[in-house]
Amino acid sequence: METSEEESFMNGSSDSHMSLPDKPVLARSDSSTRLWSPHLRDLHILSVSFLFTFLAYGALQNLESSLHGDDGLGSISIGVLYLSLTLSSVAAPLFVVWLGSKRALLVGLSGYWAFVAANLYPTWGTMVPASLFLGFTASILWCAEGTYLTFAAKSHAVSCNISEESAIGTFNGEFWGIFASNQVVGNLISLALLYYGKGSSGDAASGTTPLIVAFLGSMAIGTFLAFFLRPQDSSYIIISEDRPPSSPARTKELIKRMFALLHEKKMVLLIWVLVYTGFQQAFIWGDFTKDIVTPTFGVAWVGGVMALYGASDAISSVVAGKFSTGLPAIAAITCVGAAAQGLALVTLLFKQQYGGGWLDSFLLSGLAIAWGVGDATFNTQISALLGIFYPDDTEAAFAQWKIWQSAATSAAFFASPRTGFFFKLYVLLGLLVLSMAALLFVIMRHLGWGNRR
């Protein structure tokens, strides 16, 4: 019987999608449901490892456009970083398959050391090469993270005899919740060292060196923890005596499968929301801190406001993960996050100037909290969605996310010095509406809602 176009869309099939070799299918045990498995240990270690690593990098990234504003060094460096990440993400799944997800995670962490260390002597000759290297390693790290987390969740579901969708949602909720806490811890450290370390000169930049040294120590802890992760399986069949992972035939097969996703209707439509996640992150990291927070409170208080954003992001991630039990829940949760960021954007359209009074401080804090709610829902629900839609192409699906997300982030940072604030708000609002329409359409078609029979 010939498959209809709507059925192909709902099943995620594509004419260009390559057939997969037979592999063992995970099956649930008939034993009674348990609440614990060794994969929970891996989840906890991965989450805390990323917390210690990114509390350093995340807080420093928030400060780049404010600390290194001369000739746009800070913004350009972040733009170069995400451009490098975009280009490198095309090949990232190959490295994850060749190395395995655990070793790929360790390789991916190395670039963050180089970038943070470069801030000890911030010049064009140190920041740009460090940004290029970080972009390359970050593409590997995030592709490996999505793969590792998805397969740890699936293995946990099998061990505990629970739904895969529920396990994926719970794992993503905990990971992104702990991960988002880096914005709280890192920015509070940033606030303390920059505000109290500015000395008699009143220059917050004078406290940068002890801040970076503290951040390097935090990253050492995060990297050390990553060594205790257990290896996880991959969605690709890479163990073969006659065709090892690095063989030309195997590499050619993986490349074809990665590009095959771009021919799928679901992925093409999802690109809009992947792009939006990049723009919304660039806005809160760069434009919001530079154009709203710094003129109001000063650069030292960027950490304080962003700590509120991080707390909101962390709490919302955990809550979103708990309620993410399937596609209808994913649609509803994402709508809540989109509404929160939409409200923040509309507020900023009507008010960009904030004073030091309690009312303006309260409103500014509310904007940061609302943005954190939106970021949490997008991170947790897109990650769960890709794991559900592409169980056999996990590396390639998460690479697509990083390609489009980082391309948007890079474009936003490069354009920031030459683009008006109002224009950025209108672009974000328009893209938010378009991306949510596309996302909801994909979910509805996959569930079969509205199909004529």
230: left (phi over 0), alpha (psi -120 to 50) or beta: beta
> pLDDT > 70: what percent of the chain?
81
> Nearest Cα to 230, choosing from 392, 47, 38?
38
Amino acid at 102: K
- Residue 224 tokens, joined: 């050390």
Q: How confident is the model at residue 174 (pLDDT cuts 50, 70, 90)?
A: very high
d(CA 397, CA 378): 15
- 236 against 64, higher pLDDT: 64
Identify which of 90, 99, 85, 89 has the alpha carbon closest to the alpha carbon of residue 148.
Answer: 99
pLDDT, tens only, 47-103: 999 999 998 888 788 777 667 656 678 778 888 888 898 899 888 888 888 888 899
Output the six-digit token pair for 347.
Answer: 């507020």
Extents of the domains making up the chain: 38-447
The helix (H) or strand (E) run that includes residue 451 is none
Cα 210-303-337 angle, rounded to 5 deg: 140
* pLDDT (tens digit per residue) in 384-409: 999 889 887 787 888 889 889 988 98
According to the model, what pLDDT value does residue 21 have?
Answer: 41
Residues 387, 391, 392, 395: what is their CA dihedral angle, to the nearest 10 degrees? 10
Are 47 and 179 contacting, i.e. CB atoms less than 8 angstroms apart? yes
Contact 12, 389 (CB under 8 A): yes
Kindly tell me if the per-residue pLDDT of 245 is higher than 70: no
Check residue 123 and report its DSSP letter: S
User: Based on the number of CB atoms within 10 Å of its own CB, is 84 exposed (0-12), middle (13-18) or buried (19 or more)?
Assistant: buried
Between 33 and 100, the more confident residue is 100
Q: Residue 104: its pLDDT value, please?
A: 94
Nearest to 390 by CA among 256, 232, 251, 264: 264
CATH topology for the 38-447 domain: Growth Hormone; Chain: A; (1.20.1250)
